Amino acid sequence: MFYHLIYPLSDYLSVLNVFRYITVRAAFAAITAFVLTLIIGKIIIKEFKKRGLVQAVRKEGPKKHTITKRGTPTMGGVALIAAFLISMALWGRFDNSLIHIIYVAVIWFGMIGFADDMMKMKIGSKGMPAKVKLVLQFIGGFGITAMYLYLNGHFEYLTHINIPFIKQPFELPVWVFVIFAAFVIASWSNAVNLTDGLDGLASGLALFVFIAFVFMAYIVGHAKISEYLLIMHVSASGEVTVACAAFVGVILGFLWFNAYPAQIFMGDVGALMLGGVIGTIAVIIKQEILFLIVGIIFVVEVFTVILQVTSFKATGKRIFKMAPLHHHFQLKGISEPKIVIRFWIASIVVLLFTLSTLKLR
Residue 10 in domain = no
Q: In terms of residues, how long is the chain?
A: 361
Residue 302 in domain = no
Give the number of other CB atoms < 10 A from CB of residue 355. Answer: 15
CB proximity list for 183: less than 8 A, separation 6 or greater: 138, 141
Residue 311 in domain = no
pLDDT tens digits in sequence order for the chain, 361 residues long: 666 666 565 656 666 677 788 999 999 999 999 999 999 999 999 998 888 777 665 555 565 555 567 778 889 999 999 999 999 999 999 899 999 999 999 999 999 999 999 888 775 567 788 899 999 999 999 999 999 999 887 777 789 888 887 878 888 999 999 999 999 999 999 999 999 989 999 999 999 999 999 999 999 999 899 888 888 888 889 999 999 999 999 999 999 999 999 999 999 999 999 999 999 999 999 999 999 999 999 999 999 999 999 999 888 889 998 989 999 999 999 999 999 999 999 999 999 988 888 877 6
CB proximity list for 170: less than 8 A, separation 6 or greater: 160, 161, 162, 163
Whole-angstrom distance, CA of residue 264 vs CA of residue 256: 10
- Name residue 72's amino acid: T
Question: 224 vs 18, 48, 218, CA distance in Å?
Answer: 21, 49, 11
Q: What's the pLDDT score for residue 227?
A: 87
Whole-angstrom distance, CA of residue 74 vs CA of residue 258: 10
303-331 in b/e form (b: 16+ CB < 10 A) is ebbeebeeeeeeeeeeebebbbbbbbbbe
> Reduced to 3 states, what is the DSSP secondary structure of residue 128?
coil
Residue 204 in domain = yes
Residue 178 in domain = yes
Asked if 137 and 112 count as a contact pair (C-beta separation under 8 A), the reply is yes
Give the number of other CB atoms < 10 A from CB of residue 223. Answer: 11
Residue 336 in domain = no
Asked if 61 and 327 count as a contact pair (C-beta separation under 8 A), the reply is yes
Cα angle value 233/208/202 (rounded, 5°): 125
Total domains present in the chain: 1
Question: 131 vs 202, 252, 286, CA distance in Å?
Answer: 23, 32, 29
Residue of 90, 41, 69 whose CA lies nearest to 251: 41
Instruction: Give residue 93's domain range.
Output: 19-291
Q: What's the pLDDT score for residue 3?
A: 64
Angle in degrees, 0-180, between the axes of helices 201-221 and 336-356, rounded to the nearest 10: 10
Residue 107 in domain = yes
> Reduced to 3 states, what is the DSSP secondary structure of residue 73?
strand
Residue 300 in domain = no
Q: What's the pLDDT score for residue 125?
A: 62
Cα angle value 344/349/352 (rounded, 5°): 120
Whole-angstrom distance, CA of residue 63 vs CA of residue 44: 27
Q: Give the alpha-carbon dihedral of 299, 114, 57, 37, to 10 degrees.
A: 80
User: Facing residues of 161 across strands?
Assistant: 170
Q: What's the pLDDT score for residue 41?
A: 95
What pTM value is reported for the model?
Answer: 0.93
259-280 in b/e form (b: 16+ CB < 10 A) is eeebbbbbbbbbbbbbbbbbbb
- Name residue 93's amino acid: R
| Torsion sign across C-alpha atoms 240, 243, 249, 251 | negative
